[in-house]
Amino acid sequence: MFFRWDWLHPVLTAPIVPTLGPVHPDALTVGIFEDILRAGDTGDFLPYDKDRRWGGEKDEKVLRSNVVHQPEHTLIPTLTRRGRGTVKVFAYGLPDSVVVEATELAAKLAARHDVVNARVVRPLGPKTAHPRGTRIQLKDFTVGPCPAPDGPVRPVTAWPTAVQDTFASFAETMAADGLAFLHTQMQADRCGPVLAAAVENRIVGAIGPMDVRPDAIGCLQLLPQYFAVLPEARGQGLGRALWRAAMLWGQSHGAAYQLLQTEVGGPSDRLCQSEGLTSLGFSHTTRA
């Protein structure tokens, strides 16, 4: 075993695992960190990797030989060749000096692997003052029934054909939110259902795909979705209706929870906070 849990556990201020992203606190064990090391060597998807649903090969991998594991801090670098390439160093440690060391390591590894981008990812605890970056939020489906959505929301395929046909232009408009990618997966029949809101026979918002799969300890989770509403359609409650429809779908399909990442202070962040989700901490990414 490479990692010592008595070293790593005290500095895990937020449940973020390299190459996997947020995980449920109950699944945050030394075993999951050992798994990402092995996956880095083989290049395979872990059985519980959320990105496995898209098929192909795992792009991001841990640079095992460059991991720094010491009693007070751990640095775990990853490499992706997507785009112009990125090295990320996940910096686990309580003293701020861990960021300085992580920045130096990220810059060095980016040069060594001839990639353009070098980043440092700093997990921060839920009580962090003035947080930036993304908030990790937990929706627990076991505490009570999810409310039904109040709005014109149904699966894309349940809308009349003329309405379905407007999804393409909606997806292109919201490409920055991942909807264009989602549309290509829908056309190839490679993903679960997508829920959409329509106004005046035009799709103006969507959330999906809907997919429930077991996590690292076998607990069913609703996987993250792409989620967007056209700017001109905001302020009408459609985002909340879409989100509630997705949560109801997940609960009715056996999910125990969902983890979400929201930009601190953004619309989705405010929505999730108003819906009573539990904040598990933050992830702050900076350039090296």
152: CATH: 3.40.630.30
Position 195 in a domain: yes
User: In this structure, are 124 and 160 located in the same domain?
Assistant: no
User: In this structure, are 234 and 185 located in the same domain?
Assistant: yes
In this predicted structure, the answer to whether residue 164 has a pLDDT above a threshold of 90 is: yes
Query: Which phi and psi (to 5°) does residue 117 adopt?
Result: -105, 135
Last residue of a domain, one of 130, 162, 189: 130
Q: Of all residues in the chain, what percent carry a pLDDT higher than 70?
A: 100
Q: Pick the more confident residue, 67 or 95.
A: 67
Last residue of a domain, one of 107, 130, 153: 130
User: In this structure, are 88 and 182 located in the same domain?
Assistant: no
Average of per-residue pLDDT across 66-87: 96
User: In this structure, are 123 and 12 located in the same domain?
Assistant: yes
Q: Pick the more confident residue, 75 or 53.
A: 75
- The 10s digit of each residue's pLDDT in 174-202 is 999 999 999 999 999 989 999 999 999 99
Position 55 in a domain: yes
In this predicted structure, the answer to whether residue 57 has a pLDDT above a threshold of 90 is: no
Please state, as a whole number, how many other Cβ atoms lie within 10 Å of the Cβ of residue 114.
Answer: 9
- The 10s digit of each residue's pLDDT in 91-115 is 999 878 899 999 999 999 999 999 9
Position 93 in a domain: yes
Number of domains composing the chain: 2
User: In this structure, are 113 and 201 located in the same domain?
Assistant: no
User: In this structure, are 16 and 115 located in the same domain?
Assistant: yes
Position 54 in a domain: yes
DSSP 230: -
User: In this structure, are 63 and 122 located in the same domain?
Assistant: yes
Confidence of residue 41 (pLDDT cuts 50, 70, 90): confident
Position 274 in a domain: no
- The 10s digit of each residue's pLDDT in 4-36 is 999 999 999 999 999 999 999 999 999 999 999
* CA 7 – CA 92 distance, rounded (Å): 10
In this predicted structure, the answer to whether residue 42 has a pLDDT above a threshold of 90 is: no
Average of per-residue pLDDT across 69-78: 97
pLDDT value for 271: 92
CB 134 within 8 A of CB 283: yes
- The 10s digit of each residue's pLDDT in 122-141 is 999 999 999 999 999 999 99
User: In this structure, are 45 and 82 located in the same domain?
Assistant: yes
Structural domain for 100, as ranges: 5-130
Q: Pick the more confident residue, 55 or 234.
A: 234
User: In this structure, are 92 and 150 located in the same domain?
Assistant: no
User: In this structure, are 28 and 98 located in the same domain?
Assistant: yes
* CA 213 – CA 256 distance, rounded (Å): 10
Cβ neighbours of residue 27 under 8 Å, at least 6 residues apart? Answer: 15, 215, 216, 217, 219
In this predicted structure, the answer to whether residue 43 has a pLDDT above a threshold of 90 is: no
User: Whose structure tokens read 């098929």?
Assistant: 55
What tokens were used for 111? Answer: 């040069």
Confidence of residue 69 (pLDDT cuts 50, 70, 90): very high
* CA 116 – CA 9 distance, rounded (Å): 32
User: In this structure, are 13 and 51 located in the same domain?
Assistant: yes
User: In this structure, are 56 and 27 located in the same domain?
Assistant: yes
* CA 130 – CA 15 distance, rounded (Å): 19
Q: Tell me the pTM.
A: 0.92
Strand partners, 78: 62, 88
Half-sphere CA count of 43, side-chain side, radius 13 A = 5
Q: Is 105 in a helix, a strand, or coil?
A: helix
Position 214 in a domain: yes
Cβ neighbours of residue 23 under 8 Å, at least 6 residues apart? Answer: 15, 16, 17, 32, 215, 216, 259
Position 190 in a domain: yes
pLDDT value for 165: 97
CB 182 within 8 A of CB 209: yes
Q: What's the chain's average pLDDT?
A: 95
Position 149 in a domain: yes
